[in-house]
Amino acid sequence: MHADDEIQATIALTLVPGIGSITARRIIQQLGSASRFFQECRKIRIPGVRLGDLQQGEIKTYFRRAEEEIRFMERNDIQAAIISHPSYPSRLKMCEDAPAVLFARGNLELNASRMIAVVGTRNSTVYGQRCCEEVVEELSRNGCSLISGLAYGIDSHAHRTAQQLGMQNIGVVAHGLDRVYPSTNAALAKKMESRGGLVSDFPSGTRPDRENFPKRNRIVAGLADAVIVIEASDTGGALITAELANSYNRDVFAVPGSWGNDFSAGCNKLVKNNKAAILTSPADLSWYLNWNQQDASKTIQTQLVFDFSPEEEVLVRLIQAKTDDLDNLSILAGLTISKASALLLNLEFRGVVKSLPGKLYQLLF
């Protein structure tokens, strides 16, 4: 079966009433594919789902809608990752309620080595914004990709800071990829596509309705190694993301705030209830997540396995600090573009670096 046919069948499966993420995944695991479900749906028994009543006309309707979605994806350069395919994000796949289909637009690496989510209130303060900038700068120094929800406040501030720092910048949205909400972030979202982009499990035409945001939050938590909460009320969406991250066995961190500050109440509550580790400075992240030890180990292994020339070693160290593009690497290394390009090509042949769209280079170990 052609890959597009299975994508179409998986999208169609998600459109069947009564079949949510958990049930869709269970069906695909048991039958091996979404296509087989439609071949055998009259024989299948799922509690709460009336598959025996599923008429051929209804099935055709779901497939037509799925075909429309594929045409929309082709027109708008959108990719779909289905849970039965090896390219599906490995972290998210470990979550029981992972979506059967994930839509993405941009130049994304959803299996990057370090993926960290930063979330918080829509009503951020100057203190929260400063903490957000310092945290994202620390993430950038450690070669992390940023994940957030593209909402007002802390989310938007995290995305803008990541964009300025040249990090992979991933926005998870609560609607179809035919729009951007809030619309004031449309220009930011477009810029993010050069190194990152947007992710959603909702098909085109889906509005940013209130009930979609908790569903969005599970993707934020599921894609990440850890979630950092910067300013949150004690009932906000950021706390939902933190709770989901805990249920997925992800690390959760919270930036504390002063007594009586409504937008610090949620962070303080997470720490008080032992649902988040406290961040007293951005440097705490390296200690909590063992990054310094990992990087030291990588350096030793690299020196043992590869015999780098001095110029190659400079390039490797620069890429180890941050995935970067050819032009910037040549400037920082003091090399001509042609010389840097030749060295990087050699490193790519040796399995040291990987070239990405936009003349970007990423370390492979």
Order of strands, sheet of 353-356, starting from the edge strand that comes earlier in the sequence: 324-325, 360-363, 353-356
Q: What is the DSSP letter of 196?
A: E
SS3 percent helix, strand, coil of the chain, rounded to 5, is 50, 15, 35
What average pLDDT does the segment 14-37 reach?
85
Q: Quick one: pLDDT at residue 112? A: 93
Is residue 245 over pLDDT 90?
yes
Q: What does the chain come to in residues?
A: 365
CB neighbours of residue 36 within 10 Å: 16
296-336 pLDDT, tens digit each: 445 545 544 567 888 888 888 888 877 778 888 888 888 88
* Cβ proximity of 105 and 202 under 8 Å: no
Q: Which residue has the tokens 């020339």?
A: 309
Beta bridge partners of 118: 228
Is residue 45 over pLDDT 70?
no
Q: Quick one: pLDDT at residue 154? A: 97
